[in-house]
Structure 1
Amino acid sequence: MSWGAGYVTDIAYAPGYYAEQSPRLMAITALVNGYAAHVPSRTQDFHFVDIGCGKGFTALVLAAANPGWAVTGLDFNPAHIAVARNLAECAGLTNCRFIEADFTRFSGADLADFDAASLHGLWTWVGEPVRQGVVRLLADKLKPGGYCHVSYNVLPAWRGMIGLQRLMREAGIRLAHRADRQAERGFAVIRRLMDAGGAAIDPMARRLIEHCAEQPASYLAHEFMNAAWAPCFHQDVATAMAGAKLHYVGSPRLLENFPSLTLDDTARAIATEFEDPAMVELLKDVTGNQPLRHDVFIRGAVRLDAARRDAALGAISLGLSVPYARRQLEFDAPTGRASMSEGLYQPAFERLANGPATVADLLARARRTSSAAAVDNPAELLAMLIGTGQALPIADATAIMDPACVRLNAAMFAEKMHASNVMQRVTLAVPALGGGYSLPGLAAFAVLRQHDWLSEATSGQALPQPDGTNFAAWANLVAPGGDEATIAQIVSVFSTFFEQQAPMLNRLGIVC
């Protein structure tokens, strides 16, 4: 294991798609915060690089859903690269490639300059030589105006875990051999301390431990068993990124860009005393105790005036990502319970219930139908709808599920379900979204059955809703040999899914 330089290499990283890595969401983040950014279309010449791609799910989804793009996945673990290449081959994707790269030495000499990059699950978990190598790559290869997403464990939320992580790792490597078993044994030690009410466990650390207790051992191993594990402050990351001329422009978790939702009155008053926006971010982290940050940087950030920003945001199309009946005008924010203006958002929900619409159209509808004064702020409307998880950006509402996406979805489902259960969430590549959509495993299974995923055939049109006979047959495939109660429960899940979810998914281009 010496080639890993202290990073876990004997078990693979859990595969997954993360919406924050989407270049479209990076561009929207910049626009919401008043910076110039181009939202790429599905068919344009665009190069995205996933740095530390793992098994490549994000890279594969973006390649399949955006046929005009070139997508490159880089990872130092050859096992990850082998899996990603196999999935690409199964899907017949020709616009993505995966490269084994040691970032301490990788120069990217044969790598074309890229328009966007993402570092998810990398910065906190690797040593300083690797981080320096990544910054060099960004400095050499990210185009002017290009954007980059970085996620990391942030201080001070993790302060109470620094000693516990060290204890967990040191105990684990002395109690077991394989990394996942080391994680299990080491985690059991700190759980014993917590359960005994030890003073070593502060409230935030207790929250993190309770969250991690629900995660599989493979997750714990990659989270905690790396020798270089080091949570950091936002300003430290921003300073490092400045070495590649990158400037922080906001969070792809769009609600986090609004101080009224992230800072209480006292913190907001303190923030106004500083011209440096980094102080706002520090106040968010100190008062909010969020454990994971997602940051977007631009190489050559250019400010937009309000008119141009609003025009760019107004042209973005949105689609409802929850059934209309489940819409909510209230939501939880770091500062407490928050609410959206009914005069602005109820007309928007009503319009989106019929299919995708542009932000400009939603604002115009609110002005026509509301007796209240609608807030004519496209940044707020877009951020609230996406940030609360009730809408998604639409890349091309006319795009249908194509054979490449169907094949990839089948391959990713099989990989995700390997040694797992069908209650786990699975992401499907969706051309209309230009990205992915996450569903519980049983729902994803139902969609794949509708796509006839056992073959490579797909009609590209909405298929008739299955009847109870189909559901019973599917349930027996999901739980072969299951008892009557188990089969009936699964049939009920399928029936409810098609009754409540399928119409909304069809409007998002997820044919079912």
Structure 2
Amino acid sequence: MTDWTSGYVAGIDYTHDFHSQLTPALLGFGVMSQGHRHSLQGDGSTYCELGCGQGFSANLLAAANPHVEFHAMDFSPSHIAGARELTQEAALDNMHFHERSFEDFDTAPGLPEVFDIIALHGVFSWVSAENRQHIIRFISQRLRPGGLVYVSYNAQPGWAAAMPLRRLLAGRAEQGSGPLTDRIGDAMAFAHQLGAAGAAYFGKNPAAAKRLDHMKSMPANYLAHEYFNKDWTPFYFEDLAGELAGAKLDFAGSVHPLDNLDCIRFTPEQQALLNSEGDPGRREGLRDVLLNEHFRTDIFVKGKLSHTPRGEIGAWFATPFALTRPYSGGTLKFHYRGREVPLEQEQYAPVLKALAEGPATVRSLLDHGVFGAMDWGSIARMLTILAGTGCVTPCLPQEGLAQRAAACRAFNLAVCKRAEDSDTLRFLASPVTGGGVEADRFEQLFLLARSEGHETPAGWAELAWRILAPQGQRLQHEGRVLETEEENLALLGARAGNFAARRLPLFESLGLTLEDTGQSTGQDTGKDQTGALAQDTAA
């Protein structure tokens, strides 16, 4: 390692994943649903991501939120160079990347005086205590009063059993020579040898053995940054909250909706134990013990302001939701942390059917009787469960949709064009949700073919095959590589047909298509934003 890395892995680049927890609309919902106010709506907001890695999440969010000014930093020149390439391809004028360290980022030219959101995904666990202090100083100086900080991190006590495993792997890799990927492979093989030799550590800690087995399926560039940094700290909540208190931050809740519902997370007996703890910090720590928590996705606020009861309901009423999974009726099973979440079909089915017609605000759903005779507490709980299980998502208002749609088309076209050469980028930007939607390489190629005038699934399959065949790539089916053109075209055609029937309508409703059709994505242009539901009712 070279001195500029400060002990952080630099021999292998990080993944190109999109981390949905960074989405501004989700952060705002997380705060609002916990009864707190925020000021993220409207133009002129500023957002900063610290330790942005490849910058794909930041680029996608900039496309989906052109009304927000984005800045992102990382110390890796290759990360920043690659991120800027995509920024240029997508013509994102609200995205600014900085190759900086945490120590000197505050002096970077062009930074806003203050930010409304500062986000760190996983970074706090992977850097030294010195760099954590640089981060806290930056937040203290640059976060607007009332602003939000998103910080995700490895948590205790869930990591306790695996800490010796991480120490073993990192130490073995540090002793070796050669490329980092080879040293990671050697360290993994050595750990498996210890397990096979009957090491009591693995016998007494089955969770560690299970984690080691699970690591086999993880890409090397993820393993490198998760397990092989010099500094690696899983935090107890109280310790992390104590460090962030130095920047005047108060805990507001989790970005994951279900993590804020004790009635879902805990049994009645466990809830009674939690209710016996009056200190908020110790209460969060007790939650982590009950769950054996290993990763937290927390939102902190600089100057927490609570809604009045009337104001909180009004904020809920103004929140628009969009469907994120196809729903054609029938019974759904909801699970969280291995437990079934109770929700009755007669409650959720009308909501999902209404949102299948297009995004709608809670007020519009209420006005059209979607919730039946449910009381308000049950309605809020149901919407939180639907959001937490990925059926729906809080989204952006109708205002500004045209601008967002244009920015997303440019970004998504750049991503889909890259799918001609690789499957590295697996998410598209939605002008409706303000976040990302997963789309595999085949789906991206089908969208590209459609934008180039191919009208049928057969035509989409043919274009995809013309791209894949010269690269020597073949599809697999039931464990067998398909060798002939006819077999590959048949499977591509089947996938294209399934995409047209199931996924494309959802993509269209979320604004993911590459054509400028000039049509609404289903949201009403009126102030009440009743969406297609109102059109159907009027008809």
Give your verdict on TM over 0.5.
Answer: yes
Partner of 2:345: 342
Partner of 2:19: 18
Question: Aligned in 2, Cα 1:92/1:391: closer, same or farther, shift over 3 Å?
Answer: same
Q: Which moved more, 1:433-442 or 1:211-220?
A: 433-442
- Corresponding residue SS for 1:325: coil
The answer to whether residue 429 in structure 2 is matched with residue 434 in structure 1 is no
Preserved CA contact (<8 Å) 1:479 1:487: no
1:359 corresponds to which letter in structure 2? V
1:376-400 Cα distance to aligned partner (Å, 9 max, x none): 5553233112111011222145835
1:75 corresponds to which letter in structure 2? D
Question: Aligned in 2, Cα 1:280/1:417: closer, same or farther, shift over 3 Å?
Answer: farther
1:471 corresponds to which letter in structure 2? A
Partner of 1:490: 492
Q: Which moved more, 1:359-368 or 1:113-122?
A: 359-368
Q: Which moved more, 1:281-290 or 1:298-307?
A: 281-290
Distance 2:303 2:73 in 1: 24
Deviation at 1:332, TM superposition (A): 1.4
Deviation at 1:288, TM superposition (A): 1.5
- Corresponding residue SS for 1:228: coil
Partner of 2:93: 94
2:129 corresponds to which letter in structure 1? E
- Corresponding residue SS for 2:152: strand
1:439-459 Cα distance to aligned partner (Å, 9 max, x none): 22322332233344xxxxxxx
Distance 1:182 1:414 in 2: 34
Partner of 2:293: 290
Q: Which moved more, 1:232-241 or 1:105-114?
A: 105-114
Question: Aligned in 2, Cα 1:278/1:448: closer, same or farther, shift over 3 Å?
Answer: farther
Partner of 1:76: 75
- Corresponding residue SS for 1:250: strand
Partner of 2:503: 501
Question: Aligned in 2, Cα 1:335/1:262: closer, same or farther, shift over 3 Å?
Answer: farther
Preserved CA contact (<8 Å) 1:397 1:509: no
Preserved CA contact (<8 Å) 1:263 1:335: no
Partner of 2:513: 511
Partner of 2:478: none
Distance 1:258 1:363 in 2: 22
Partner of 1:455: none
Distance 1:50 1:326 in 2: 40
- Corresponding residue SS for 2:189: helix
Deviation at 1:375, TM superposition (A): 4.8
Aligned residues: 495
RMSD: 2.4
Q: Which moved more, 1:326-335 or 1:66-75?
A: 326-335
Partner of 1:277: 280
Deviation at 1:430, TM superposition (A): 1.9
Partner of 2:457: 467
Question: Aligned in 2, Cα 1:197/1:308: closer, same or farther, shift over 3 Å?
Answer: farther
Deviation at 1:316, TM superposition (A): 1.1
The answer to whether residue 244 in structure 2 is matched with residue 241 in structure 1 is yes
1:445 corresponds to which letter in structure 2? L
Partner of 1:251: 254
Deviation at 1:92, TM superposition (A): 1.4
Preserved CA contact (<8 Å) 1:386 1:392: yes
Distance 1:332 1:115 in 2: 34
Give the TM-score normalised by structure 1: 0.90
**What runs of 5+ residues in structure 1 fail to find an aligned partner?**
453-462
Preserved CA contact (<8 Å) 2:354 2:370: no
Distance 1:310 1:197 in 2: 58
- Corresponding residue SS for 1:26: helix
Preserved CA contact (<8 Å) 1:327 1:390: no
Distance 2:326 2:455 in 1: 17
Q: Percent identity?
A: 30
Partner of 2:190: 189
1:394 corresponds to which letter in structure 2? C
Deviation at 1:329, TM superposition (A): 4.0
1:268 corresponds to which letter in structure 2? Q
Preserved CA contact (<8 Å) 2:457 2:493: no
Alignment partner of 2:412 out of 409, 412, 431: 409
Q: Which moved more, 1:196-205 or 1:379-388?
A: 196-205
Distance 1:348 1:392 in 2: 12
Distance 1:32 1:440 in 2: 32
